[in-house]
Amino acid sequence: MTDLTHPPTEPLEPPRDALSRPLIAALNLDWEKAIYLTFMLLAIITRFYGLGDRVVSHDESLHTQFSYQYYIGDGYSHSPLMHGPSLFHATAASYWLFGDSDLSSRIPVAILGVLLILLPYFLRDWLGRKGALFTSFLLLISPYITYYSRYIRHDIYLIVFALVVFIATWHYIRERRNKYLWWFAGGLVLMFATMEAAFIYVAIFGSFLVVRLLALVIGADGCAKGAAAALRCWWPCWASFWSASVLARIL
């Protein structure tokens, strides 16, 4: 057996993988993320506490009834009276996972209500760190958002999906990365699969994109060159927009 008489010439590097570091260090938790984490915990409490105590209302009774029929195997048939299918599929999945009850029927909307509080984090580059935090705080304490995060209706679904489209649009305008087109298309499909008010959101977002396109055309040197440049920049966004619209129509 030999003894180690000479120390290593090169110092050992600390492990770089996340599993070899303390959890706090791996999360890289700073004051901003700590506040978001606090907001998330408060959102979980305010969205889930006593979630199944209140008796279902008229609208909820319809949504739970058709979701339950789908859950027990009676099938699903879309009716414009009931808006889009996303709520019924999500509620039926919750019944399958947690059993059929008033509590389990409201779990999907409560989860989306918590997720909504965190989404302004992805708008920090435009709102600023403090602005994004303040937006999350307002969503956290909003009576309207809190109510519909505990109520089986399509409102919270549509709000979350519309915000995903909004975030993806701004990120794509700045970075031109294809992954944001996928988020844009996915959010748009889910909007159309949720509620007819999606057409209003499309009119709002679409009118902004049209104005943005015109600004690119007018601001470039020469209309022909401006149109060509704008087309190269924006055709993926418009292609995703119309493809998502067609897919949502098929679904």
Quote the CA–CA distance of 237 and 161 in Å, as a whole number.
17
Quote the CA–CA distance of 150 and 110 in Å, as a whole number.
6
145 and 36, same structural domain? Answer: yes
170 and 56, same structural domain? Answer: no
Within a domain: 178? yes
The total domain count for the chain is 2
161 and 139, same structural domain? Answer: no
pTM confidence score: 0.79
Within a domain: 23? no
Q: What integer pLDDT is reported at residue 205 of this predicted model? A: 87
Quote the CA–CA distance of 125 and 23 in Å, as a whole number.
27
Sequence-distant (6+) residues with CB within 8 A of 192 are 84, 198, 244, 245, 248, 249, 251
Within a domain: 13? no
Q: What integer pLDDT is reported at residue 229 of this predicted model? A: 54
Within a domain: 125? yes
Q: Where are the alpha helices (DSSP H) in 122-222?
A: 124-127, 129-141, 143-148, 155-175, 178-192, 198-219
37 and 133, same structural domain? Answer: yes
Q: What integer pLDDT is reported at residue 249 of this predicted model? A: 45
161 and 131, same structural domain? Answer: no
Q: What integer pLDDT is reported at residue 115 of this predicted model? A: 97
205 and 175, same structural domain? Answer: yes
Q: Are 196 and 190 in contact (CB under 8 A)?
A: no
Q: What integer pLDDT is reported at residue 80 of this predicted model? A: 78
Q: What integer pLDDT is reported at residue 209 of this predicted model? A: 84
**Exposure pattern of 38-57 as b/e (b: 16+ CB <10 Å)?**
ebbeebeebbbeebeeeebe
Within a domain: 103? yes
Within a domain: 208? yes
Q: What integer pLDDT is reported at residue 246 of this predicted model? A: 43
91 and 35, same structural domain? Answer: yes
Domain boundary among 153, 175, 197: 153
For residue 147, the one-letter residue type is Y
CA distances to 109, 146, 154, 218, 248 from 48, rounded to whole Å, are 10, 10, 18, 51, 31
223 and 135, same structural domain? Answer: no
Which residue range forms the structural domain that includes residue 194? 157-251
42 and 104, same structural domain? Answer: yes
Within a domain: 3? no
For residue 119, the one-letter residue type is L
Domain boundary among 153, 182, 211: 153
Q: What integer pLDDT is reported at residue 50 of this predicted model? A: 95
Sequence-distant (6+) residues with CB within 8 A of 241 are 184, 185, 188, 206, 209
Residue-level pLDDT, tens digit, the chain, 251 residues: 555 555 555 555 666 665 666 665 656 788 999 999 999 999 999 999 999 999 999 999 999 999 999 999 999 888 878 899 999 999 999 999 999 999 999 999 999 999 999 999 999 999 999 999 999 999 999 999 999 999 999 999 999 999 999 999 999 988 989 999 999 999 999 999 999 899 999 888 888 888 877 777 776 554 545 455 555 555 555 555 555 554 444 34
136 and 41, same structural domain? Answer: yes
Sequence-distant (6+) residues with CB within 8 A of 197 are 158
Q: What integer pLDDT is reported at residue 251 of this predicted model? A: 43
Domain boundary among 107, 132, 153: 153
Q: What integer pLDDT is reported at residue 29 of this predicted model? A: 81
